[in-house]
Structures are given as structure tokens and as C-alpha cells.
């Protein structure tokens, strides 16, 4: 299973109101990713998300309209993540615990590579995975002034910046939070499992959940997977679960397992690759 963020998203994964258990929040959002290990050109993607306290479904549209190219299913009760490649009819499943193990293994692999890389390549690789290798950081947050609020979908959203207390110029996350809508699950853990944020960042968000339970309507952050992510909510609609397809959170028939096992921790891309 790939580590590529599904934003969100992701980011995007923070979009549930404090509603009844049978409510589903249907969210449309767009996100742009600049992956530093690629050609540094942004990829703009739209998503449609179905969000509940028990599960999340994310349909991702890489092209214009049509069927989703990829679907992500996150099951909180069974602690399982499924990625559906809808174009090739391939499914990849991974438990929360296996994903955590793989993230840890990846971090160790990157740390080991940093010890042997030449200085020029070491600097590039360290910058690429700065958000992932955040174990020694101590974070703080700064709230914007009233005039820094941004109106998004008729909501006046407060600006909050997360920064490193030691390296104060390092700001891995800037969000505009909805004044009322909250999330009913551990959004920090979801963002960590999707490798959108690092472990220490997730811990900080969890420690300050009173603030970060609010829905981020727009967000800029440094990706733990390497790169920069921008998200913006386009629409939000709440409906009853009984009005939707009951199989919405199920794996459809016809999908096959990949021929090879989930890959191990990838080797950091060297400068010039």
C-alpha cells in the first residue's frame, strides 16, 4: 500500500460535525500536493468524502468528472485501511497496527540513510522528510487576530499556526478552523496513519484537541510523506445514513489483491534522481 496521502485528506479527514451517530457528512474538497521527491509540480485533485464516527470513505478524482480513480475506506471499529485502485480493480488492505509499524520502519530507514549520504544529498533528504522526523520537536501554536479570520462557505474561520518552539521559523501547519463544526473521532491519529503529519505533531494535536477538534476549512502543511499540501473545503452537506447506499463502506466484488506484498520502507530519493 502506498503512503500517498488521500486528503486528506485528509486532510479532509477532519470534516465531521458533532452530529448524531447515524449522520453522514458529505464533503467535497480540493487539494494540491507538491511532492519534493518528484518534479515539484503541484498535483490538483478533488475528493468526495463520506464521514461518520465509525468509518470514512474518500473518493478521489484525478481527472475531470467520471468515476473516482481511487477510493479509501477507513474502518475505525476494525482498525483497518483499504485502498481501492478503481482503474485496475486492485485492493490493498492494512491494519492500523501494521501501518504504524511500517511508518516506524520507514523513519528508521531514512535515519540510517542520512548517516551515509553525502552532505548535499543529506540536506535534500532531511528537508524532504522534516515533518516525518519530528520526534525531538516541541510544538506551540499561535492564534491569528480577528482581522486574520477567513470567510469560507459563510463561516468566519480562525487562523491557527503550529510552530516549533526551538526552530520558530518552522511552521508545519496553518489552519483556518470552523467556529462550530467539530470532529467526533481522533483526527490526529487518522492524519498520522495517512502520513500527513508526524508522530510528535499528532501527539500535540491530541493534547490540544479542544482547539483541533474544530473543522479545518482550509489548511497548509508540510507532509510527513515529503512535500507540501494545501486543502480547501468546497461544500459540506449532512444527511442520514439511511438515505445512502448501505454498502458505501464495503469493498465491492471484483477487486483483486496485488500480486506482490506491501512494499517495505522506501529509500529516500537522492539528489539528482
Q: Give the SS3 label for residue 180.
A: strand
Strand segments (E) across 76-148? 80-85, 90-95, 139-143
Structural domain including 28 reads 23-243
Q: Pick from 163, 162, 146: which is nearest to 216 by CA?
A: 162
Tell me if 66 is assigned to some domain.
Answer: yes
Write down the pLDDT at residue 268.
Answer: 41
Tell me if 264 is assigned to some domain.
Answer: no
Higher-confidence residue of 184 and 121: namely 121
Write down the pLDDT at residue 145.
Answer: 92
Tell me if 16 is assigned to some domain.
Answer: no
- Cα gap 163→171, rounded to integer Å: 4
Tell me if 251 is assigned to some domain.
Answer: no
- Cα gap 173→222, rounded to integer Å: 7
- What domain count does the chain have? 1
Tell me if 13 is assigned to some domain.
Answer: no
pLDDT digits (tens, 9 = 90+) for 131-175: 999 999 999 999 999 889 999 999 999 999 999 999 999 999 999
Q: Pick from 175, 173, 149: which is nearest to 233 by CA?
A: 175
Write down the pLDDT at residue 123.
Answer: 86
Tell me if 233 is assigned to some domain.
Answer: yes
Tell me if 195 is assigned to some domain.
Answer: yes
Over residues 113-120, mean pLDDT: 89
Q: Identify the band that residue 37 occupies on the pLDDT scale cut at 50, 70 and 90.
A: low
* Range from 23-32, 63-72, 122-131 carrying the lowest mean pLDDT: 63-72
How big is the chain by its Cα radius of gyration, in Å?
A: 18
Tell me if 267 is assigned to some domain.
Answer: no
The pTM assigned to this predicted structure is 0.81
CATH number at residue 193: 2.50.20
Higher-confidence residue of 12 and 107: namely 107
Give yes or no for residue 56 having a pLDDT over 80.
Answer: yes
Amino acid at each position: 500500500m502506498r503512503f500517498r496521502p488521500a486528503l486528506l485528506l485528509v486532510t479532509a479527514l477532519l470534516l465531521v460535525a458533532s452530529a448524531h451517530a447515524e449522520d453522514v457528512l458529505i464533503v467535497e474538497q480540493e487539494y494540491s500536493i507538491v511532492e519534493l521527491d518528484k518534479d515539484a509540480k503541484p498535483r490538483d485533485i478533488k475528493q468526495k468524502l463520506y464521514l461518520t464516527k465509525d468509518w470514512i470513505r474518500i473518493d478521489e478524482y484525478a481527472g475531470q468528472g467520471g468515476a473516482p480513480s481511487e477510493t479509501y475506506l477507513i474502518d475505525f471499529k476494525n482498525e483497518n485501511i483499504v485502498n481501492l485502485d478503481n482503474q485496475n480493480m486492485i485492493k490493498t488492505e492494512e491494519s492500523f497496527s501494521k501501518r504504524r509499524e511500517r511508518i516506524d520502519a520507514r523513519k528508521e530507514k531514512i535515519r540510517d540513510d542520512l548517516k551515509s549520504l553525502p552532505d548535499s544529498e543529506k540536506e535534500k533528504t532531511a528537508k524532504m522528510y522534516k515533518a516525518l522526523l519530528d520526534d525531538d520537536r516541541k510544538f506551540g501554536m499561535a492564534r491569528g487576530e480577528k482581522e486574520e479570520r477567513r470567510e469560507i462557505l459563510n463561516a468566519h474561520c480562525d487562523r491557527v499556526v503550529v510552530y516549533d518552539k526551538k526552530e520558530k521559523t518552522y511552521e508545519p501547519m496553518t489552519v483556518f478552523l470552523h467556529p462550530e463544526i467539530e470532529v467526533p473521532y481522533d483526527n490526529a491519529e487518522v492524519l498520522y496513519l495517512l502520513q500527513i503529519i508526524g508522530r510528535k505533531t499528532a501527539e500535540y494535536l491530541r493534547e490540544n484537541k479542544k482547539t483541533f477538534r474544530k473543522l479545518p476549512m482550509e489548511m497548509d502543511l508540510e507532509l510527513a510523506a515529503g512535500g507540501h499540501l494545501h486543502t480547501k473545503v468546497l461544500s459540506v452537506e449532512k444527511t442520514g445514513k439511511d438515505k445512502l447506499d448501505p454498502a458505501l463502506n464495503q469493498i465491492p466484488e471484483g477487486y483483486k489483491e496485488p500480486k506482490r506484498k506491501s512494499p517495505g520502507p522506501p529509500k529516500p530519493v537522492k539528489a539528482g534522481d
